[in-house]
Amino acid sequence: MINLVVADDHHIFRQGLVKMLKEIPDFNIIGETGNGSKALEIISKTKPDIAILDISLPDLNGFEIAEAIQKNGMSTKVIFLTMHNDSITAKKAIQSFGDGYVIKDNAFEDLLYAIKSVRAGGKFISPSVSDKLINLGASVESLQIVLTEREKQILSLIASGLTNRQIANKLFISMKTVETHRNRILQKLGVHTTADMVRYAIKSGLSELK
């Protein structure tokens, strides 16, 4: 069960989002609010696995809430849910202890990926924003997307055009293991296809690894 708190000051949007999240198995909404101070109070009391925060909230904004969570030593992960589709705000969000950054335009699909990725220990940035960050020269490390050395190696081999079987033979591992790593990479990078992974690897310099 994944315990979630949702904070967004657009009441109708928040109601609709909460309703959809409640329909997902293993998602448990333990609090919702449109106020930043109230959100921090709920998070402090309930200690959810993930807090889904709008950046623009009354009293305390999303960045301030994320910073308070970090300073108080809470294990709650933070996913920012926002209309801001620019690289500057996204970079600030990640630097402000964010684990995910989801654009509201296609919120629900990306939010599901984000929740699963963050829960698994990864990061998620909506692809449209991660592209902008990478185009500005940001590396995988600066985006705080946590790939293991093996995942980086497999991503590099995928970008080189190798099939799962070829990767398995090269690394002396099973195809099932390769598929598991591939799925984890997809989740952590917040992308949906092999083409997206290849593009990401090339832009971030991982395609040069062997």
**CATH code of the region 2-135:** 3.40.50.2300
The model's pTM: 0.68
Check residue 60 and give its pLDDT. 94
Of 5-9, 37-41, 42-46, 177-181, which range is least confident? 177-181
- The residue-averaged pLDDT of 122-127 equals 77
How far apart (Å, rounded) are the C-alpha atoms in residues 178 and 184? 10
φ, ψ at 208 (rounded to 5°): -90, -10
What's the CATH architecture for 149-208? Orthogonal Bundle (1.10)
- At residue 64 the predicted structure's pLDDT band, cuts being 50, 70 and 90, is very high
Check residue 146 and give its pLDDT. 63
The whole-angstrom distance between residue 172's C-alpha and the CA centroid of its chain comes to 31
- At residue 143 the predicted structure's pLDDT band, cuts being 50, 70 and 90, is very low
How far apart (Å, rounded) are the C-alpha atoms in residues 62 and 67? 9
How far apart (Å, rounded) are the C-alpha atoms in residues 15 and 20? 9
φ, ψ at 156 (rounded to 5°): -60, -40
- The residue-averaged pLDDT of 58-68 equals 94
pLDDT at 130 over 80: no
Provide the residue ranges of all domains of the chain, joining segments of one domain with +. 2-135, 149-208
Match 């309703």 to its residue by tokens.
19
How far apart (Å, rounded) are the C-alpha atoms in residues 10 and 210? 48
Judge contact between 110 and 124, C-beta under 8 A: yes
The SS3 call for residue 8 is: coil
Judge contact between 100 and 122, C-beta under 8 A: no
The whole-angstrom distance between residue 140's C-alpha and the CA centroid of its chain comes to 13
The pLDDT tens digits for 177-205 are: 999 999 888 877 767 788 878 877 877 77
